[in-house]
Chain A
Amino acid sequence: QQQVKQSPQSLIVQKGGISIINCAYENTAFDYFPWYQQFPGKGPALLIAIRPDVSEKKEGRFTISFNKSAKQFSLHIMDSQPGDSATYFCAASMGSGGSNYKLTFGKGTLLTVNP
């Protein structure tokens, strides 16, 4: 059972454009939603995370939008740069009591930003 569905699988964007990656979850007990960025040969690195008490969180060019009723969240990368080319993973965990040590990941989106 895939609890976190991520789309698209791959995305090609021109430099300066907006990259949008979407995720949908099934388990309403999830209450912590991080995004990770992974370059080839490297481990995933935390990009930005959100909890469901807010609908949007912005850090630099990266924004998470969260829709609790639709059980969806998305990552927007503004002014996309070639250096953003990587695989992006959304994830979710049950943070009740702070025990968000078990992340359930989406399948990943390979982002290519053309110069």
Chain B
Amino acid sequence: DADVTQTPRNRITKTGKRIMLECSQTKGHDRMYWYRQDPGLGLRLIYYSFDVKDINKGEISDGYSVSRQAQAKFSLSLESAIPNQTALYFCATSDYYSSGGPDTQYFGPGTRLTVL
């Protein structure tokens, strides 16, 4: 079973609809991240969370919100979807070594979202 799972894998929705993308991980990591990727571009950070009580905005948080329901679950919501939010969305998890220094980030398979 995959360590980082995302649901749904594909979603088509209409402008103005509310949509939630979910991410679950079995790695036991405290840190979770949401990114979006537009065609031909690198990933851009939307939100990140270092633990259940910690939520931080990334580069492009406008139009998005998140919820960290548990250590293993981190959801991304689009309250009122618009066409320019059509993109590939990735969730990632990471840890931080007690000896100092960040662990690698492990990415999910992605959710392809189309807003019509």
Does B bind A?
A: no
Q: Which residues of B contact A (CB under 8 A)?
A: none
Q: Which residues of A contact B (CB under 8 A)?
A: none
